Chains A and B, each alone.
Chain A
């Protein structure tokens, strides 16, 4: 049984039916959010405090977070995640030539421009009925691996990293800092730090060596990316059916030169984040509850097999399972599907607590293979923004609340090894291997020797494990890139230099979906075309899942749920000096990426634009 809540049933032969029937089989009753107790405590108890972060700093884009904290009992009583800007891309794309979608949707994110452009190309080539040549598929895998490596490294050392720096720990947990000065590291032979305090010192923002190493890694990753894609961010060489420029053995070798330099970085990153997690756990077991929530996660898989991918919806289950990261959904720690069609059918978006109007109608009762489709599925969704005031019981976010089988699942780079391990289907094992509960990654030598590392499904799931798995994911991405580099060289040796497939824009009604992922996890682009123009375009990003507000049943989104479970371990002298580091660590562990744009669209008016403070002086 794939679905527990949706009325969709698959039989053993893969046949699918709508269970129950009736006039509104996907209908539901909403449940109001009850804030009375929180309001009473806020009014009555001096030690109960509203703590709002707006913006949450060191995240991509605009995220606010509201919480109510009981500082005496060190508990979070209420949590509300707020996407404070509207991503107007779905509105902007309506009516446009589908080829524009690659370049416009790329701008949905400043970090992930390449993955949005690629996801858009995947959706368009499914709708157009074209398939890229093998070399183009490999080039996508190579370029995007670099994007993922950069994304995850940046988060670990420049965004989340400062939460684990000397500067922060001294401010928020001075006794922990004292312990760090007396604690030997376990992985010092790899990362070079003998004392935890030395490691934390180099995590300091702007000046710490690890922060600066992360910045430097971005140079290698960007150079690797542009060697194959010409420009980053927002590449202009991604087209339906491939990429728009040629590559040579020379450009492959330049890419390899940059890739190899990331091998040693990955080895060190794993050692560093192993030590950080272990240090905090040893210091206080309660840290294991920081950012914890049920193991509910979803991913669409990434890195297509050039021999398997045919860009069709009909065969998506087959080519999806051939990916280097297996698509899948985990609910309560158990894998429930690896089929892209089922993953697609389970997706819905709700707007009860978002600044949108409910759309009506259901243009598509079924998916292109005849399986029942919810009226709340992206192919049926219409984006109808409706700005309004903030009300924690009603509407408070520009993010929708995506759910899978009506469960709040989270997206993250860590979902990939987790799902791939539980699925056990990985077909590409030159540098990767699986056990029932772990992934082994053989990182080739560069300056440091070849080493096999093993990521194990953690017994607890929390902020530290998200970051630890993110470090292992860098190694995962490195070796998938290397595997694809070898495959690409074999293709080049055959003389097949084709990187794109000719196409014409169809004029009839077509559907398409890009099943892909960002460095932060799940990314889907759903589109419908008619008369050569976009009728509907819907984007679901990892942070739409993670930052989403409560759903129609009052269940929290992943950030909200993780913060509610987070104990307050920070040391503070008075409530005025409370900084909320535990809450921030929980939120940042998801690698939040909010819409990264200065463009805001609100109904029929363009409203504001962020203007940075000018530090110039006028003269001349």
Chain B
């Protein structure tokens, strides 16, 4: 396995093939663009629940056609299976809290560059995932390895401050919410067809 895996999307809308009759079919129609905003993390862990709790908040707002908001607090393997069973997304925006030692409330937005660790490490991530660890990094690695992600994946992370039991964010993370929502809206605006 090369360090950087080249993914050839099997989901990209291909040029429509006429059926045997030569007449247009439903499959020939352009597929409406689809974008998923997914909140990743555990519930009930305050800042570490940022992804699913933000998804709850976002779901109450109005979004452009083709944009779906989803709570992804059910583990990388389940997410991967669900992605596999749906019509393809053109872009996915994953949102979650990840502890990396930055100042609490820091927001980081980046494009997922599909860099994969070696196979032993991927296997370890799968083992973590199947045994219940819900992690944004694991989701990116596993879903990329098994080729379930579109080419265009944006990640928005927030640095957590408080990981105790509960549903409320810390002050720092609560203050970061507007910026994260703005980053999500920018991610969508940059993607929407003009």
A contact set with B: CB distance below 8 Å = 57-61, 92, 103-104, 107, 109-113, 154, 158-159, 162, 205-206, 215, 218-219, 222, 231-234, 236, 593, 596, 598-599, 606, 609, 611-620
Contacts and interface: CB of A to CB of B under 8 A. Distances in A.
A404 B124 CA distance: 34
B75 interface: yes
B132 A596 contact: yes
B165 A111 contact: no
Contact of B123 (A109, A162, A236, A613): A162
B81 A57 contact: no
Interface string B36-52: 00000011110010000
Contacts of B99: 609, 611
Contact of A103 (B44, B75, B126): B44
Nearest to A104: B165
Interface string B127-139: 1001111110110
Contacts of A103: 44
Given A218-B130, A615-B116, A107 B98 contact: no
Contacts of B130: 111, 154, 158-159, 215, 218
B145 to A, nearest CB: 7
B55 interface: no
Contacts of B27: none
B109 interface: yes
A104 B131 CA distance: 18
Contact of B163 (A107, A112, A599): A599
B111 A206 contact: no
7 contacts: A58-B124, A104-B165, A206-B145, A232-B74, A233-B75, A596-B131, A616-B112
B155 interface: yes
Interface in B89-132: 98-101, 108-113, 115-117, 119, 122-127, 130-132
Interface in B38-76: 42-45, 48, 73-75
A206 B123 contact: yes
B111 A619 contact: yes
Contact of B110 (A111, A112, A599, A617): A617
Nearest to A93: B165
A593 B131 contact: yes
A75 to B, nearest CB: 29
Contacts of A613: 117, 137
A231 B75 CA distance: 11
Contacts of B110: 616-620
Given A232-B74, A620-B111, A110 B100 contact: no
B143 interface: no
A616 B102 CA distance: 15
A158 B126 contact: yes
B177 interface: no
B131 A60 contact: yes
B100 A611 contact: yes
B48 A233 contact: no
Contacts of B165: 92, 104
Contacts of B111: 617, 619-620
B135 A111 contact: no
Contacts of B112: 616
A205 B155 CA distance: 28
A617 B113 contact: yes
Nearest to A215: B77
A232 B117 contact: no
Contacts of B43: 234, 236
A598 B163 CA distance: 9
B74 A233 contact: yes
B132 A612 contact: no
Q: Which 8 residue pairs of A and B lie closest in terms of their CB atoms, listed nearest first? A: A110-B132, A60-B131, A219-B81, A612-B137, A617-B113, A58-B127, A111-B132, A205-B123
Contacts of B133: 110, 596
Contact of B81 (A113, A154, A222): A222
